[in-house]
Amino acid sequence: MPVSLYVHVPFCYSRCSYCDFYSNAINKEDLMMEASKWLFAIKQHQAALSGRFMNQGYGTIYIGGGSPSFLPKDILKDAIVWAARLAEPTNKQNMEFTMEANPEDIDSGLLDMLAEHGVNRLSVGVQSLENKARSLAGRKGTAKDTIKKLECISRNWPFLWSVDFIAGLPGQSIDGLKNDISRVLDYGAGHISLYALTLDPDSPMAAAAASGLYGLADSDAQSEYLEAAYEILAKNGLIRYEVSNWARPRQESMHNMVYWTYGDWHGLGPSAVSNINMENGCPIRISNALGNDYYKNPATSASETSLDKKDAAFEFLMMALRTKRGLVFYEFVERYKIPASEVFGSLEKQFPDLLHADELALKPTDRGLDLLNVILLKAMENADSYYGKAG
């Protein structure tokens, strides 16, 4: 399988109150200088990773962040043109090349430039089209502004596009979330990522809620948001193929499938992570440094760990069970030279409502996708006792 490429852009116009991604709010004057350092460093880093791991090109590319669309136009174009040339030679025509974009940055000029230089999938961060929710979340632009940008994508973007929503934001209503999803599907989005709000305790939103400024949805309320959204998504023909991801047929994210099938990827940019599988099925995990440490020495400032068999096998299961595809038995045996059932026990017998097994794979039911943690706790216990026994 070819390696994938993730490029992290660590800049945002401002910080959203719920966000825990690594990115810095930066003004336009400083952005040019910082973005130039970033561009230089990612190119250097990519060459170093490809040299070390003898990479011949990438099977999918994803530019995320942060806010890639906030980069100065010349730097963004340079990064896109450069990245597109890194496609695996036999896959150049078909390579999935995704870029995240914030609605406020989108115009027909940007869309034309991206399409012309190889980007063929957009991932658009909307989160909510309700003004109260947008403002408490610190999202830039009103609902009306954002809708105009979605119309612009609908008119001008010739390829696939995906929209991110959050369920359970303060100020968001269940009807609002349903209407928002219907609207973007009407505009032609073929893929929806729908995340239940989860907050780092240090985030501004968690602090505001703790000080009594507003309440947060508890887990029952969040389930109501999610279930209402699921109904709309299913009614419109989208399939839940991963815990938080829905797609029309053949519009699944191939790049994200690489993570969930425990493939190889190179991560460029501060805070990004690379995963390189070794012959024994255990990956080397490389975590990039932050800020100037990364810009000065992108490859050597990274920290590196080699996963042992137990952690690798468990992560493989954990990622596989996030998807409807499930854990494919022969893939597990090929990597770890042992059937998954010997390591984890017969999980489908322990959780008949949450999992089912056929001759090919162990797959989560819809309920299983929602209660993955229960399965994983048991799987970890079973793996501990298996690898404990095996020494």
Task: Report the chain's terminal Cα–Cα distance, integer Å.
Answer: 31
Among 46, 55, 67, 69, binds ligand SF4 (CB under 6 A): 67
Q: Which stretch binds ligand SF4 (CB under 6 A): 63-71, 218-226, 339-347, 351-359?
A: 63-71
Q: What is the size of the binding site for ligand SF4 (CB under 6 A)?
A: 11
Nearest approach in angstroms of CB 126 to ligand SF4 is 11
Instruction: Please count the CA atoms within 13 angstroms of the CA of 361 that sit on its side-chain side.
Output: 14
State which residue, 15 or 248, has the beta carbon closest to ligand SF4. 15
Q: Cα–Cα distances in Å, from 296 out to 42, 197, 289? A: 11, 35, 10
* Contacts (CB under 6 A) with ligand SF4, residues 1-20: 12, 15-16, 19
Nearest approach in angstroms of CB 31 to ligand SF4 is 13
Q: Which stretch binds ligand SF4 (CB under 6 A): 60-68, 88-96, 203-211, 288-296?
A: 60-68
103 binds ligand SF4 (CB under 6 A): no
Among 3, 41, 61, 65, binds ligand SF4 (CB under 6 A): 65
State which residue, 66 or 364, has the beta carbon closest to ligand SF4. 66
Nearest approach in angstroms of CB 69 to ligand SF4 is 10
State which residue, 25 or 81, has the beta carbon closest to ligand SF4. 25
66 binds ligand SF4 (CB under 6 A): yes
Nearest approach in angstroms of CB 385 to ligand SF4 is 40
Q: Which stretch binds ligand SF4 (CB under 6 A): 59-67, 199-207, 334-342, 360-368?
A: 59-67
Nearest approach in angstroms of CB 80 to ligand SF4 is 19
Nearest approach in angstroms of CB 14 to ligand SF4 is 7
SS3 string, the chain, reads CCEEEEEEECEECCCCCCCCCCCEECCHHHHHHHHHHHHHHHHHHHHHHHHHHCCCCEEEEEEEECCHHHCCHHHHHHHHHHHHCCECHHHCCCCEEEEEECHHHCCHHHHHHHHHCCCCEEEEEEECCCHHHHHHHCCCCCHHHHHHHHHHHHHHCCCEEEEEEEECCCCCCHHHHHHHHHHHHHCCCCEEEEEECCCCCCCHHHHHHHCCCCCCCCHHHHHHHHHHHHHHHHHCCCEEEECCEEECCCCCCHHHHHHHCCCCEEEECCCCEEEEECCCCCEEEEECCCHHHHHHCCCCCCEEEECCHHHHHHHHHHHHCCECCCEEHHHHHHHHCCCHHHHHCCHHHHCCCCEEECCCEEEECHHHHHCHHHHHHHHHHHHHHHHHHHC
* Contacts (CB under 6 A) with ligand SF4, residues 119-138: 125
State which residue, 198 or 306, has the beta carbon closest to ligand SF4. 198
Nearest approach in angstroms of CB 226 to ligand SF4 is 19
Task: Check: CB of residue 45 under 8 Å from CB of residue 268.
Answer: yes
Nearest approach in angstroms of CB 180 to ligand SF4 is 16
193 binds ligand SF4 (CB under 6 A): no
State which residue, 98 or 102, has the beta carbon closest to ligand SF4. 102
Nearest approach in angstroms of CB 125 to ligand SF4 is 6
Q: Please report, as ranges, the residues that interact with ligand SF4 according to CB under 6 A.
A: 12, 15-16, 19, 21, 23, 65-67, 102, 125
